[in-house]
Structure 1
């Protein structure tokens, strides 16, 4: 039997021959026997170990068995250790009565009845093992209860997130759909009234532009939900090819110039270095678009800078805004699905940064944020050069 599973027994007697004799009587494979030749030595052992039973000789110099028992009963660690007294004194001295007064569970007279001693010790060892078993079962039940409570809390959180997600999806889809529906109703009314001048070329261009923005908004929302589903199922698609980041950034900044103007943000691009590598151009662009869109949304109409740097191993793209910044608590949350910083600015499902980080990690890279509340935020996308880097 492993040592840690054995019951521990303590024998205290000032005579070595008594210790050896009693050890031989009660030894078994399921127990470990400790010997002490004095009360002081016994106390050190009692404080160090947990014993199933202590067998104390009554007549010992300096500290007798009764005094040791009183000390044991005064300490929380040893208070509940069963005590059996052993004495060579005659029964007429009434030691047994005094022993029971000090909290003993039994009193044995010498010469010892070997069978009786073994039987009594076996009973106490069995009781101790049963108590331990019950204790472990209770601990296991308590652990199971805590795990069940945690599971229930997580389930409730999941249900709450599901409900909030469905509510957000409904809201985010309803806004562009309502706009499209109202635009359609107005055009229908104008056609029915014969107001064809409302459909001049400039008017039609504005109508098409508005429709395109609303449709793109819905498509982006649906694409985000599809990406989350792919990420969670391990089916996110990454198609690496030769990609040059400087040109990619110039194109993205140019494509988003109208959005930047609408937000009142001036965008400055620092991308003089060439960074050629094997990455999924579409997915990298998706990350940068998300970071810039967030910078326009939360940047407080202040300048936004995009910087490309590189070394031999990694290309880094940093998008920095000068908005209110992100608290440390929010910095840990914003990369989780359906989470957004605690701000009244902007809307959305809270999926963009979650998807962006997953895309960065799918490239073997990372997406990190540095921010202090009130001092803006800087998001850095790190992309390692690998898979056949093309040097220029």
Structure 2
């Protein structure tokens, strides 16, 4: 027990005012004062607690102090607990003797002298603490002795049975102990010097450097570890691993070495035998890993390219063969244009990465006003932000003071004060590509109703802020955030936090890698901050400011960035004779997370008489199946979130409950793996994407029992 810990003091009196008086006197001792209003209550306190001293009133109704003391002494736990009797009614020697006979250590008469009471209680408190400490030390010493005996027995057993040699030396290197395994391994006896024993046994080719290394390390009190060869008298060679550590005195001085000798001949032979195998295995694993990365990337690339291609080809074929009203035609053209731009961007990203890998990406450097660059990038993503009702803001700060509107549409960069401060030497198109990638990322990963904010500021390196050093662009969002495990890999090529077929967001994982390379080509830096999933992310780009020879920024060097957006010519639909309604009244459920795809498929099937229900997820599909029973279900294997495999599993479970069968068709990537096709075997048919409308109609016509000649 530490001296600072509190001990228990039991106060027993049937008058509450007396207990309060005792408590007031003893409170300055800072101990745990336990109050009892009767002898019975005092005995209950003694059941679970130990007390340094008991102050016991003699005159109490029912069980008086003497009877209470007698019962206290009958309990093993309180047999030796000091008792001080307190009384105000009698000073009779007979009663005093009776109290002492019951084991009392003192007899005090009321009114009590506070100082005397405190001093007596303090003595017993101190005695209790010291007694407890002595007991603790005695217990600890007994445990230490027992542990020492156990350790000695274990050491003797360990030394005798150890599979490795054990030795000890003094400061001069003379051997003071060896076990039998050590003597057998090194072929020397205890009385021989350790160095002499080794020098005789060490292989001649290893002897000089082994002994030099041993002496250099052990004389300095360092640890030693080495592998070398020993030469036996009969000429056989075996390998040993010798380890040793310095033994230190209580003052920290080196007094010798303790070490082990292990025969590692078999391990060395196995290592030599398997070296080539390991190399081949490593090469094979590297090749397999490269193939896996290639396959994963190709699968993702196939899906990302063919998903928009499905809508482009489908609508193009419909526009060529069917006559639609103006609204449907406009929607078709808009879908074709949007998906074509998506494909073009993917291809540009792939080409940029190819240029980066080959070192062929070049910049055309001119003075660039970053305000204009950011405005142009914002214009290109504004519609995407508005579609998701995202709160989009562009803030400009001059040395920490905001001086521009938060509304991007109201920003006029040439009229705002301080805009000339945001000049950098760069390639306008590439810098706009950097900003566009960051903004697109923020919008893609931010849920509807979220917030994306761009901050542009000038930062300085010194505290006085007298020297402009770089421009900082900060793009923040309130999106899904980045997990701490994935944060270090955000800017790596082909890396995505979720690369499975059920990933929640599309993309090749190239955008941020391109951002980093372009920023570094501009002698800048980019890094990301995120507190984890669900907390949003902030990307910070820093670019060096542009200055003339005198270190000043010239306002007249602000470039005019042109960002033309030519509109493609509107294709003209051709009329054709409508096909017969060969799918009339066929009930079809389409499950595809790509809105353009199931919009296209719905249009195609309805033109041939089918009754189509289109949903975007497995959960929506299961909800729809509660209301209808389709003849055919079409599901995309590469859906976001839950895929078609999960859909089929749930549908088959529902069929078992209803006792009916739904025909299922899977849409698979063109580069589908054997494993994917095997899983898709649960479907009655699988069609590669992009789906040919004629093949789809023909397949459904077979299920409808119609002769299809489109």
TM range (shorter): 0.5 to 0.7
Q: Which of 369, 373, 381 is residue 256 of structure 1 equivalent to?
A: 381
| Corresponding residue for residue 479 of structure 2 | 323
* Aligned residues of 2:363 and 2:427 also touching (Cα < 8 A): yes
What's the secondary structure of 2:394's corresponding residue? strand
1:183 matches 2:315: yes
TM-score (norm 1): 0.64
CA RMSD of aligned residues (A): 3.6
| Corresponding residue for residue 296 of structure 2 | 164
Shift of 1:154: 2.9
Q: Which of 334, 355, 361 is residue 236 of structure 1 equivalent to?
A: 361
**What does the per-residue CA deviation read over 1:7-44, in whole Å, with 9 as the maximum and x for residues that have no partner?**
xxxxxxxxxxxxxxxxxxxxxxxxxxxxxxxx986686
* Aligned residues of 1:295 and 1:321 also touching (Cα < 8 A): yes
1:286 matches 2:442: no
TM-score (norm 2): 0.37
Shift of 1:272: 4.7
1:368 matches 2:527: yes
| Corresponding residue for residue 451 of structure 2 | 303
- Mapped to 1, the partners of 2:440 and 2:302 lie a distance apart of 21
| Corresponding residue for residue 336 of structure 1 | 492
1:83 matches 2:188: yes
| Corresponding residue for residue 111 of structure 1 | none
Instruction: Name the structure, 1 or 2, with higher relative contact order (CA <8 Å, separation 6+).
Output: 1
- Mapped to 2, the partners of 1:235 and 1:127 lie a distance apart of 63
Shift of 1:284: 1.5
Identify if the C-alpha distance between structure 1 residues 73 and 341 changes in structure 2 by more than 3 Å, giving closer, same or farther: same
What's the secondary structure of 1:380's corresponding residue? strand
| Corresponding residue for residue 98 of structure 1 | none
- Unpaired stretches in structure 1, ≥5 consecutive residues: 1-38, 48-67, 88-103, 106-121
* Aligned residues of 1:321 and 1:377 also touching (Cα < 8 A): yes
What's the secondary structure of 2:527's corresponding residue? strand
**What does the per-residue CA deviation read over 1:28-78, in whole Å, with 9 as the maximum and x for residues that have no partner?**
xxxxxxxxxxx986686278xxxxxxxxxxxxxxxxxxxx6xx323475x6
* Aligned residues of 1:276 and 1:390 also touching (Cα < 8 A): no
- Mapped to 2, the partners of 1:269 and 1:141 lie a distance apart of 65
Identify if the C-alpha distance between structure 1 residues 317 and 124 changes in structure 2 by more than 3 Å, giving closer, same or farther: same
* Aligned residues of 1:73 and 1:80 also touching (Cα < 8 A): no
- Unpaired stretches in structure 2, ≥5 consecutive residues: 1-166, 193-199, 202-229, 241-263, 399-418, 460-467, 556-710
Greater alpha carbon shift after TM alignment, 258-267 vs 127-136:
127-136
| Corresponding residue for residue 271 of structure 1 | 396
1:72 matches 2:178: yes
Identify if the C-alpha distance between structure 1 residues 230 and 141 changes in structure 2 by more than 3 Å, giving closer, same or farther: farther
Greater alpha carbon shift after TM alignment, 377-386 vs 294-303:
377-386
Larger Rg: 2
- Mapped to 1, the partners of 2:424 and 2:358 lie a distance apart of 28
| Corresponding residue for residue 545 of structure 2 | 385
Shift of 1:316: 1.3
Shift of 1:183: 0.8
- Mapped to 2, the partners of 1:75 and 1:175 lie a distance apart of 71
* Aligned residues of 1:298 and 1:345 also touching (Cα < 8 A): no
Shift of 1:380: 0.9
What's the secondary structure of 1:247's corresponding residue? helix
**What does the per-residue CA deviation read over 1:237-267, in whole Å, with 9 as the maximum and x for residues that have no partner?**
2222211111211221122111111222121
* Aligned residues of 1:316 and 1:382 also touching (Cα < 8 A): yes
Greater helix share, structure number: 1
* Aligned residues of 1:319 and 1:380 also touching (Cα < 8 A): yes
What's the secondary structure of 1:329's corresponding residue? coil
1:45 matches 2:173: yes
